[in-house]
Amino acid sequence: MGIDKPNIRYTIHYNIPPSLEAFYQEAGRAGRDRQPAFCWLIFSDDARKEADRALAPDADEASLDAASNNYKGGDVQRLLYLHRNSFRGFEPERLKIRELYQKYLGPVLVGTPFDSPVEVKIEFHNDNEKAHRDKALYRLSILGLAKDYTLDYNNNRFEVTAIRLTDAQITENLQAYFRRYKTREFVDEIPQQVRNEKGNTTLGKCASLLLRFVYDEIEKKRRTAMRSMAEVARSASQLQTVEEQDEYVRGELRAYLEESPFTKPLLALVEQIDPAEWLQVLVLSNESDVPLLSTVDGVRQLRGGCRRTIESYPEHPGLFFLSSISRLLLPNPDVELAMAEARHSFQAIAELPNRYQTSIINELLQQGYKVMLRRTEDGPTLFKAIATIALEEYPHRDLAHLLSADVPSMSEKVILNILLSEIRELNQRLLPEREQSHDYQPD
């Protein structure tokens, strides 16, 4: 369908698209002549829990495989089936790259002069093998060893122009790739990262760094975009009338796509980990000095801004913290998803190489969640649930003491577990090995 065809009267999405932006672009094909047009989206939400596990920020390979293998399930499962064909996993991809290089390129390139192209033919016997080798060749083309390649359908093979490179050249090609996505400081550290990476060859180390970036950032970004699309479709499907659904989807698209007072602050805070900046976002006001989060529209703008920014920075704890609060402040909040985002934020903070994690988490709880949740009837209950999550992800004595008044049973459990661990450690150091047969056992 031509993008400029003016008289399209309707679009129908039989399966949800992979992102809100894709939905906006595709639905926007209708009504370009400014006459009435209708855009329908048919949403199947079968096996919802399975889909949610696969779309979670910390989803493991088993959850992704379970959802993608169930491609006859709901829309999310079908999206993930196609997604997993492109992103088959870090280790499977790494092994395919090594196999292809050792079996085809390596034997030809050894003994070839540096920077001298050589032609290599790589056969495949089925579509699955073709897809695996195509992806491996693409990764090797980023590193410069596959200078060019074409697909010969008639003979079921790839015709590759390979080139032998020095270790320094391979590293430079990796830097050139990262330069399209990362800061100069990050790119400058690549040679040191290559030296520190596990492996026996520079090629293998560079391939691992490349794949780690692909799966930690690119794959996760695309899955995050799917989650946003599925969330909007799911929420709209629960409304009673077409008019309500229409108004809701329009509002969500505006909050996602349009610039708001939150746009610049959210983009600024991702440049570093500074909880003070996150808390400042919560107290932003408009030109009349009215707090932005005092209205439902303002809360939706924050959620929309977080939703879009998270797609570009899917590991930043501040974005998940703010998104979690925005969800809890909305009418009829999705508490389960808000709690999942709070958990992800605390997980990321707990992994920071920072000795101030206790004070950071406590500050977010007391000045962020506690203040915001005073506006809801379920505020005290929700705060206890969030504080419990914080202790589950960061079970440290100091934080347990700070939260003892809010979640006494969980704080007590954390402290007792720490004491039990210390007793075990002392027992192992003080008693001879033969006297440790009746060591303390967990409940």
pLDDT of residue 217: 86
Same domain, 58 and 116: no
Q: Does residue 402 lie within any of the structural domains?
A: yes
Q: Does residue 252 lie within any of the structural domains?
A: no
Q: Is 226:21 a contact under the CB 8 Å cutoff?
A: no
pLDDT of residue 93: 94
Q: Does residue 66 lie within any of the structural domains?
A: yes
Same domain, 61 and 150: no
Q: Is residue 330 packed enough to be buried (19+ CB in 10 Å), middle (13-18) or exposed (0-12)?
A: middle
- For each successive 10 residues of the chain (443 residues), what is the average pLDDT? 78 93 91 91 92 89 91 91 91 95 93 91 93 94 94 93 95 94 87 94 96 91 93 93 94 91 93 90 90 92 94 91 93 90 92 82 92 85 94 93 94 94 85 54 44
pLDDT of residue 432: 62
Same domain, 179 and 275: no
pLDDT of residue 443: 43
- Buried b / exposed e along 270-283 (16+ C-beta atoms within 10 A): beebebebbbebbe
Provide the number of structural domains found in the chain: 3
Question: What's the gap between Cα 247 and its chain centre?
Answer: 28
Q: Does residue 129 lie within any of the structural domains?
A: yes
Q: Is 77:71 a contact under the CB 8 Å cutoff?
A: yes
C-alpha distances out from residue 385 to 235, 338, 410, Å: 23, 11, 10
Q: Does residue 283 lie within any of the structural domains?
A: yes
Q: pTM for the whole thing?
A: 0.77
- Boundaries of domain holding 167: 90-214
Q: Does residue 344 lie within any of the structural domains?
A: yes
Q: Does residue 353 lie within any of the structural domains?
A: yes
Local structure of 7: helix, strand or coil = coil
pLDDT of residue 354: 73
pLDDT of residue 1: 56
C-alpha distances out from residue 425 to 389, 415, 431, 442, Å: 27, 15, 10, 14
- C-alpha 382/C-alpha 327 separation (Å) is 12
Same domain, 35 and 122: no
In the chain, the N- to C-terminal Cα span, in Å, equals 64
pLDDT of residue 427: 85
Q: How many helices (H) and strands (E) does the chain have?
A: 23, 5
